[in-house]
Structure 1
Amino acid sequence: MGPKKGKAMRRFGAVRRYRSGRWTASYIDPTGLRRRAPDTFETKSDAEIWLSQVEADISRKDWRDPDAGAVNFEEYALKWVKERGVAPLTEELYERLLRLHVLPTFEEYDLDEITPPRVREWRTERLATTGAATTVAKSYRLLKAILETATDDELIRRNPCRIRGAGKEVAEEREIATVPQVDALADAVGPRWRLMVYLGAYGPLRPEEQAELRRKDVDIDTMTIRVRKAAPELSTGERAEGPTKSEAGKRYVVLPAFLRAELRRHLDWYAERGPEGLLFVGEKGAPFRRSSFGRKWRRARAVVGMPDGFRFYDLRHTGHTLSTRSGATLKDTMVRAGQSTERAALIYQHSDRERQKEVASGLDKMVRAARERDADQPEEGAGGAEVVRGA
């Protein structure tokens, strides 16, 4: 049933009454298009109040195209991930979190249909279903970041992710290996890979950073390693050579002197030849693979008696702890590990090469002392493998 003839004119917009008795309202938006209220009103006063609210939004420059949020969340989220320009492993993580935890709930929604109640219901369901608080926290942070960009793009008025503390992870305390345990892991993993264990603990270098180390990056005279690139392995098995995890990841690492013999032996026996030769290659000359090394790591961990949850990455935590005990400050340990956040950058940017040498020297003394103490204890050897230790 169409509206009656004539309409009440106002200073801003117009209202008119339908034959049904209900009222509608319309106005000219800032782009010159006529917009009509999405719903009808019971009274003329209600229609005018709605117009007054629109007029106020326009005057405050808070007006938003009512059709702007009609963008499918799945399409927007997948595009968001591709546009981030993040490292391959991070992109893979985002896509996995979306696929498993976010899209099953929100893939059919438009951006402006995702409301705070729906976000709360989704989070509650994920926590109850998965029991994985850390994964749900990661998923929530990802959803919030995507919708924050949508807010910046003026597709939605306000981010609906407003649950205080929902994105915070409470990590379990990680296991710290002792110096004898690090030595035992290096022995058990085999001569070709033992240096990787030591660099993981006393560098402390990430496995993807070690995978891309070249001969030219190693200087035995100064006991330094230059970290320039990384080669993480994706779940597809693809080796994704590229930049380090962050700009802070590009660094010189000063190694403790007790690793000199380990480093020299590895270069002589196992590294590829030539300046561009990879530092770590398999028995058949193939580049380091996380999957094949993982099997060796799990066997070594069992031989040493380390808990199943002790990851290769936990060697870095061991290195952090030992460096701190040897006198390193927070900024010193963050420089060694190549960690970067905006806040941390201001804290550790002044830790220079000389200070790193002091940290490495303190670490050297600590490990040597621990080895001497361990040597005084009855040794329970496994396999009789020859161990090369010392300066």
Structure 2
Amino acid sequence: MGVVVRQKVKGKGNPWWVFVYHDGKRISRKVGDKRAAEAVASEIRARLKLGQFGFEGKRPVPTFVQYANEWIETTVPATCKASTLRDYQDILRLHVLPEFGEMSLTDIKRGMVKDFLLKKLNEGYAVSTVTHLKNVISGVLNKAVDNEILPANPAHGLGKILKQKARGEAMDPLSVEELRALLETVQQYYPEHYTLFLLLARTGMRIGEALALQWG
């Protein structure tokens, strides 16, 4: 149980909010300045001690997939190109929804998102690809913050981890001769894999990205 007073966006002139966490549930309200928010928080704390503050009548917290559908249908078309919209739809369908789709928004924690991103890196996806995954997750959760369902975005700041990973990657590409020799060897001894190796050589894809491709 707890009552927290803070700004969602720090800065002079920005509103202050009161966040109430009680019996596994939470609500938030924009109050105004800090003094008014502290007064409201004190009253709520007193009512909680007396058992006079409840959450009756609150709507159930949406699942991630419910909010993702709303985000992809309203926010993304208004702010992104059609090609970006298609990319985000694919990212949700192939990666994000299988992991978080049926979870309640309030059950998604920062550690879960971090572990998911690291898992994708370990599976061979490029840092740039995993950054796109993070941006999609963060976009959905930001909408939940804006609509006062979440007090903060669990994915906020996780891009720093991906940047550190990118700086730590040392590239040692094959020379033209080495690449030609590799493709000739694969074509001769492993012809069933030649198309895959040729795709990797000509596009620079990671193996995880190539294996996720589908026809159509």
Q: Taking structure 1 as the reference length, what is the TM-score of the superposition?
A: 0.28
Q: With CA pairs under 8 Å and 6+ residues apart, which has the higher RCO, 1 or 2?
A: 2
For the pair shown, which has the larger CA radius of gyration, 1 or 2? 1
Q: Taking structure 2 as the reference length, what is the TM-score of the superposition?
A: 0.48
Larger proportion of helix: 2
